[in-house]
Amino acid sequence: MGILILGLTLGMTCKKKNQPPGAPSIPSGPSSGRKGDTLRFSTVAEDPDGDSVAVRFDWGDSTMSDWSGLVPSGDSVVMTHVWQRLSSYSIRAQAKDSNETASVWSAEHQLTVASFFTTFGGPGDDVGNSVQQTSDGGYIVAGSTKSYGAGNYDVWLVKADASGNKVWDRTFGGTGWEEGNSVQQTTDGGYVIAGTTTSYGAGGADVWLIKTDVNGNEVWDRTFGGAGDDFGCSTQQTLDGGYIIIGITQSHGGSGEGAWLIKTDASGNEVWNRTLGGDWGNSVQQTSDGGYIVTGYTTASGSGGKDVWLVKTDSTGNRMWDTTFGGPDDEEGYSVRQTFDGGYVIAGWTPPQVGYGEYVWLIKTDGTGHWVWDRSFGATHDGEGRSVQQTSDAGYVIGGYEGSYVWLIKTDSAGNKLWDKLIRQTDYDTGHSVQKTSDGGYVMTGTTESGVPSCDVLLVKTDAEGN
């Protein structure tokens, strides 16, 4: 009897115990991605008993995949996932065998989703002209819409969160034609827009300045103009809490059209205005001495045709100096910024030295407007530099377009190209405005034909390398 019991006991002791699978391998896949894209990850799990295994992934965004089907031990399992918010994610995997015995979790794979390409629009043509990152990490876009509003084209203001999702939008306008060309977040958290209206004002087209609260609701608006057509191109809040506007006037300054500089108080009431001559003012910035720097183009002086025009004024808009850049053909400056060294950088376009078309043109001057260097960037099709900003490494980022692509160009401090990216989602996309973002990447707005046959506002966010 004792022998029999011993045999049974030994038999039970020798029965092999099921062991859990080992921790799967660190998930393999991209380390960076774009919001909304389908990304692919794989892992391998082995079972010490040779059992088949199933795998699941924890995607790091509070979601988890279903268990895969059973595969032989050591075989790769592949799954895909889509992330909808910009952030960093820790991705891990877990395995279980055919007996439902689970492994520990794998080590984590790090993924950064730092970019997106999103559009806003309806059945009509909608255009994004200006973008800025806001204090909450999101973005504000100003442009025009034919899809929404009171009729024809209206000013369109769109607020997006940090992942490019629309939070709200507002339209401003009447039955005429309106356009928003420039937007900035103001010190009170609201926004100021400069553009043009034909629905309000003195007649024809007038410069239009709109102030909103933080939710985009209009606080006040002001028009500036006369019997002729007047257009608002760019605005900035000034150190005294007021606003500076650059535009074009046919109502003031004599015959033809000329650049028009308008200074207002904090309530948008005109303090002074100056006609600067030339032909067109596209961009204005307050300078460190309290004055203003303007770029655009002129046909009144220079080397012939249209030339890039740079104008410096004092704090009351009186011209201190101006200079031109160009040759016998046409050139134009679209954007100007004061640089860390007290000089200026201009982005625009110039024809190539040989042949026809347009190249992106970057011009660097000293503090008195004297040429330091210039660089042109050409490609297969026409290109324009619509916006420029100096970056923290003392280089420059240019936003614009080349042919039917959004074009983002990064240079070093001497204007030498470090990299460039051509971005296209549809048959025809253009970039109009760029800004460096707080995470080291870049945000751009422009137009896209995603709403064929109409166009939509595009909002593009890239990582630090323009991806």
Question: What is the 3-class SS of the chain, one letter each residue?
Answer: CHHHHHHHHHHHHHCCCCCCCCCCCCCECCCEEECCCEEEEEEECCCCCCCCEEEEEECCCCCECCCCCCECCCCEEEEEEECCCCEEEEEEEEEEECCCCECCCCCCEEEEEEEEEEEECCCCCEEEEEEEECCCCCEEEEEEECCCCCCCCEEEEEEECCCCCEEEEEEECCCCCEEEEEEEECCCCCEEEEEEECCCCCCCCEEEEEEECCCCCEEEEEEECCCCCEEEEEEEECCCCCEEEEEEECCCCCCCCEEEEEEECCCCCEEEEEEEECCEEEEEEECCCCCEEEEEEECCCCCCCCEEEEEEECCCCCEEEEEEECCCCCCEEEEEEECCCCCEEEEEEECCCCCCCCEEEEEEECCCCCEEEEEEECCCCCEEEEEEEECCCCCEEEEEEECCEEEEEEECCCCCEEEEEEECCCCCEEEEEEEECCCCCEEEEEEEHHHCCCCEEEEEEECCCCC
Residues 262 and 312: beta-carbon distance below 8 Å: no
Same domain, 325 and 213: yes
Residues 25-36, buried b or exposed e (16+ Cβ, 10 A)? bbbebeeebbbe
Task: Note whether residue 177 is domain-resident.
Answer: yes
Q: Is the CB of residue 409 less than 8 Å from the CB of residue 423?
A: no
Give yes or no: residues 277 and 344 share one domain: yes
- Domain presence at residue 14: no
Residue 270 and residue 155 share a domain: yes
Is residue 45 located within the same domain as residue 150? no
Domain assignment present for residue 467? The answer is no
Domain co-membership, 25 together with 91 = yes
**Do 384 and 348 contact (CB within 8 A), yes or no?**
yes
Total of domains in the chain: 2
Examine the domain organization and report whether 57 and 146 are in the same domain.
no
pLDDT of 452: 65
Domain CATH number, residue 330? 2.130.10.10
Give the residue from 113, 138, 172 where a domain finishes. Answer: 113
pLDDT at position 378: 83
Distance between CA atoms of residues 168 and 190, nearest Å: 14
- Torsion angle (degrees, nearest 10) of CA 381, 382, 386, 391: 50
Quote the domain boundaries for residue 360.
115-462
Claim to verify: residue 100 and residue 192 sit in the same structural domain: no
| CA torsion angle 331 333 334 335 (round to 10) | 160
Q: What is the pLDDT of residue 379?
A: 66
One digit per residue, the tens of pLDDT, for the chain of length 467 reads 344 444 444 444 455 789 999 999 999 999 999 999 999 999 999 999 999 999 999 999 999 999 999 999 999 999 999 999 999 999 999 999 999 999 999 999 999 999 999 999 999 999 999 999 999 999 999 999 999 999 899 999 999 999 999 999 999 999 999 999 999 999 999 999 999 999 999 889 999 999 999 999 999 999 999 989 999 999 999 999 999 999 999 988 766 789 999 999 999 999 999 999 878 899 999 999 999 999 999 887 767 778 999 999 999 999 999 999 998 888 899 999 999 999 999 999 988 765 556 789 999 999 999 999 999 998 667 888 999 999 999 999 999 988 888 999 999 999 999 999 998 777 788 899 999 999 999 999 999 986 567 899 999 999 999 99
91 and 122 both lie in a single domain = no
102, 153: one domain: no
How far is it, in rounded angstroms, from Cα 274 to Cα 288? 20
Do 105 and 161 fall into the same domain? no
pLDDT confidence of residue 255: 65
In a domain, 9, yes or no: no
Q: What is the pLDDT of residue 4?
A: 43
Which of 164, 124, 131, 175 has its CA nearest to residue 148? 124
Q: Which of 97, 113, 129 is the last residue of a domain?
A: 113
Q: Identify whether 438 is part of a domain.
A: yes
Together in a domain, 146 and 211: yes
- Global pTM exceeds 0.95: no
Query: Could you tell me if residue 35 is inside a domain?
Result: yes
Domain end: 113, 135, 162, which one?
Answer: 113
443 part of a folded domain: yes
pLDDT score for 9: 45
Residue 183 is predicted with a pLDDT of 98
**Residue 197 included in any domain:** yes
Q: How many CB atoms lie within 10 A of CB 104?
A: 12
**Cα distance between the two ends of the chain:** 79
Query: Quick one: pLDDT at residue 380?
Result: 67
Asked if 106 and 125 sit in the same domain, the reply is no
Q: At 67, which CATH number?
A: 2.60.40.10
Compute the residue count for the chain.
Answer: 467
